[in-house]
Structure 1
Amino acid sequence: MKHLEYKGYTGSIEYSAEDNLLYGKVLGLRGLISFEGETGKLLEEDFKEAIDTYLADCKEEGKTPEKPFKGSFNVRIPAQLHQRAALLAMETKTSLNNFVAEAIRLRVQKS
């Protein structure tokens, strides 16, 4: 397992040899939600507790919880690459958005 998953949130898994401790953070959020544990089981329990606490705090404060990986992001690429991709998308009668999504999909499938 490379990541932890709970209620739509993803947590990283790291190891500190210095502290002999597993730790992680929730990925894809602007704020920091961290968790830790001496074993994988304890790490997962603390991850779930951190998410539940975050969601409870948001509810108590009347805030909408931030959702990671909403499906929208900005990408900065060289202008020449942008032009080539846009022209190829037009030639294949698709949108640049669909062209980029397909390129990412293909790359992710290879990993």
Structure 2
Amino acid sequence: MSNCMKYKDYYGTVEYSDEDECFHGKVLGINGLVTFEGNSVQELKASFQEMVEEYLADCEARHITPEKNYKGSFNIRITPELHKKAALCAANEGLSLNALVEKAISFYTGKYFAK
């Protein structure tokens, strides 16, 4: 994942602001908003790790779960043409449309996450 960093099973985005001439990001998949920044890659990494540690300590002190809970369901919007193609592919494979989408997402995310 080239636009993300990882620390202790937490991921953070990596962006650059030309206007501010600094790197910045936010921690993903958590209950809250935690941001970090740095003027170099090394500063960005250090800031990310420091903010994750502070967030985890705060969650422990407040007795809350740090990770966001995912329901396992979400709505997507695609073109009618792609919807039709997906429905036909699912029928051809003997799958529901949900099963086809799950299979596709599993395949795509397998590129980034080892099992």
TM-score (structure 1 length as normaliser)? 0.71
Which residue of the partner structure matches residue 54 of structure 2? 53
Q: Equivalences for 1:1-111 in 2 at 5 Å?
A: 1-29=2-30, 31-67=32-68, 72-77=73-78, 82=83, 85-86=86-87, 88-104=89-105, 105=107
Cα displacement (A) at 1:107 = 9.3
What secondary structure, in the 3-state scheme, does the structure 1 residue paired with 2:66 have?
coil
Deviations 1:18-62 (A, max 9, x none): 322211112344631100111111110110111111111111111
Aligned partners of 2:25 and 2:35 also within 8 Å? yes
CA deviations 1:61-109 (Å, max 9, x no partner) are 1111124778653324467865663454244222333301333435986
CA distance in 1 between counterparts of 2:86 and 2:56 reads 40
C-alpha separation in 2, matches of 1:25 and 1:106: 23
* Pairwise CA RMSD: 3.1
- TM norm structure 2: 0.69
- The size of the alignment, in residue pairs, is 109
The one-letter amino acid paired with 1:73 is F
Q: Distance in 2 between matches of 1:3 and 1:69?
A: 20
Percent identity, aligned pairs only? 46
Deviation at 1:4, TM superposition (A): 0.7
Distance 1:27 1:107, change over 3 A: closer
User: Contact conserved, 2:24 with 2:35, CA < 8 A, in 1?
Assistant: yes
3-state secondary structure, aligned to 1:25: strand
Asked if the contact 2:10/2:27 (under 8 Å) is kept, the reply is: yes
The AA in structure 2 aligned to 1:21 is C
Give the gaps of 5 or more residues in structure 1. none
